[in-house]
């Protein structure tokens, strides 16, 4: 568990390429800053997000965290499928690993509420990120959904099992099997979003909620978050197993076909695959 450090040390460690990190008042704002790629994440992006959440964890000024995306089109489009099509992976990482599972765990484990401000599409791994956040505020034009079976990927851990806890199993199956986007209003009615606001009100509202959290007892919030997490903590074990399976699957011909089709802007041809690996 990270220990607290001085604000001076934390401020000096916020030089990122793929994200923006700022502390305002009593909250941190983490912004995925790859608008040309619809704020999709590569390995470096994931490394930087983990670092930013860890900084917010150890900063005593920070009582809550806002996660959002740059621009108005996309909160996060998940893993960078074009990068995967080009190199067969999600690009270089500081640690030689694609640490998406660690990112999921830090969002859940950081003892401070995390608010996702969904400013556009939240697809695939982006939908998983907002699902894991404590509170989700969506712009009216936001869209939510999964794309894994269309692009040769899946998330058999938190992205499916925990999603089923949030919106119900039938709806989670529908979202994953058909890969159809739902609008912000439906996401709110399903429980995936807690609130829908006009686009120009999204960040002001997220910051308003963060300020309200800044007035609450931090130890009480910490124990409450851990209590909520305890009910689904048993999912952690098979999440690890699922991510290991995904790592193997990512190198399969079936997965490569999905990524290649996406990069080439064509429909994938999965007809030669029978799912027997």
What phi, psi does 22 have (nearest 5°)?
Answer: -140, 150
Is 123 annotated among the ligand-binding residues?
Answer: yes
Is 21 annotated among the ligand-binding residues?
Answer: no
Q: Residue 33: which residues within 8 A CB-CB, separation 6 or more? A: 16, 18, 19, 20, 39, 70
Is 225 annotated among the ligand-binding residues?
Answer: no
Which parts of the chain fold into alpha helices (H)?
7-11, 43-58, 81-87, 100-109, 125-132, 148-151, 163-167, 169-178, 184-190, 202-214, 218-230, 235-249, 253-263
Is 122 annotated among the ligand-binding residues?
Answer: yes
Question: Six-digit token pair at 200?
Answer: 């120009």
Is 124 annotated among the ligand-binding residues?
Answer: yes
> How buried is residue 193: exposed, middle or buried, by Cβ count under 10 Å (0-12/13-18/19+)?
buried
Is 121 annotated among the ligand-binding residues?
Answer: yes
Q: Rounded to 5 degrees, what angle do the CA atoms 207, 208, 210 make?
A: 60
Binding-site positions for substrate: 90, 121-125, 153, 265
Enumerate the known binding-site residues: 90, 121-125, 153, 265
């Amino acid at each position: 568990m990270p220990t607290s450090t001085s604000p001076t040390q934390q401020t000096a460690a916020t030089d990122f390429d793929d994200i923006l990190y700022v502390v305002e008042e009593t909250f941190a704002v983490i912004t995925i800053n790859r608008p040309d790629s619809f704020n999709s994440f590569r390995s470096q992006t994931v490394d930087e997000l983990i670092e930013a959440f860890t900084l917010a964890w150890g900063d005593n000024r920070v009582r809550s965290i806002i996660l959002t995306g740059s621009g108005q089109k996309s909160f996060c489009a998940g893993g960078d499928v074009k990068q995967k099509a080009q190199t067969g992976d999600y690009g270089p990482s500081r640690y030689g690993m694609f640490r998406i599972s660690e990112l999921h765990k830090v969002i859940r484990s950081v003892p401070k509420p995390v608010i996702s401000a969904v400013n556009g599409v939240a697809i695939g791994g982006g939908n998983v990120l907002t699902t894991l956040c404590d509170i989700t505020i969506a712009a009216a034009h936001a869209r939510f959904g999964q794309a894994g079976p269309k692009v040769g990927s899946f998330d058999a851990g938190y992205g499916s099992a925990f999603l089923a806890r949030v919106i119900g199993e039938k709806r989670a199956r529908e979202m994953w099997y058909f890969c159809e986007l739902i609008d912000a209003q439906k996401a709110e009615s399903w429980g995936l979003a807690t609130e829908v606001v006009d686009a120009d009100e999204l960040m002001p509202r997220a910051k308003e909620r963060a300020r309200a959290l800044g007035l609450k007892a931090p130890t009480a919030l910490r124990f409450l978050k851990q209590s909520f997490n305890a009910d689904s903590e048993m999912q952690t074990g098979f999440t690890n197993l699922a991510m290991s399976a995904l790592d193997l699957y990512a190198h399969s011909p079936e997965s490569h076909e999905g990524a290649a089709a996406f990069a080439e802007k064509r429909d994938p041809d999965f007809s030669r695959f029978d799912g027997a690996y």
